[in-house]
Amino acid sequence: MVTDGIENPESMDLRSKIEQVLELMRPTIQSDGGDIELVDVTEDGHVKVRFHGACVGCPSSSMTLQAGIERNLKTYVPGFQSVEAIDEHGRPIQDPL
């Protein structure tokens, strides 16, 4: 069963559901020269991702994170709570002022 590109969402674990949504978004992110890596998913639905390529330091990455990634995860992944971008050292990326 496929629902908006998500296969059998009822039988998948949380991490698998998140990975599948990110894979569906990956071509759009890559078309702008970037990429995204799923770093961590907690049992209570908090997600950490790392941007690569053109996404690193891009002023639009926070918009991509909130309007694209977070919105899609909220729509397609029951149990999802939040998403946070981290740098290569595992530190949260702060929005530029």
In a domain, 90, yes or no: no
Instruction: CATH number of the domain at 23, please.
Output: 3.30.300.130
The structure's pTM equals 0.81
In a domain, 33, yes or no: yes
Distances (CA, A) of 75 to 21, 54, 71, 81, 97: 10, 26, 6, 11, 29
Print the domain residue range for 73. Answer: 2-85
Instruction: State pLDDT tens for residues 7-44.
Output: 555 557 999 999 999 999 999 999 999 999 999 999 99
In a domain, 8, yes or no: yes
In a domain, 93, yes or no: no
Q: How many structural domains are present in the chain?
A: 1
> Does the pLDDT at position 71 exceed 80?
yes
In a domain, 91, yes or no: no
pLDDT at 4: 55
> Does the pLDDT at position 82 exceed 60?
yes
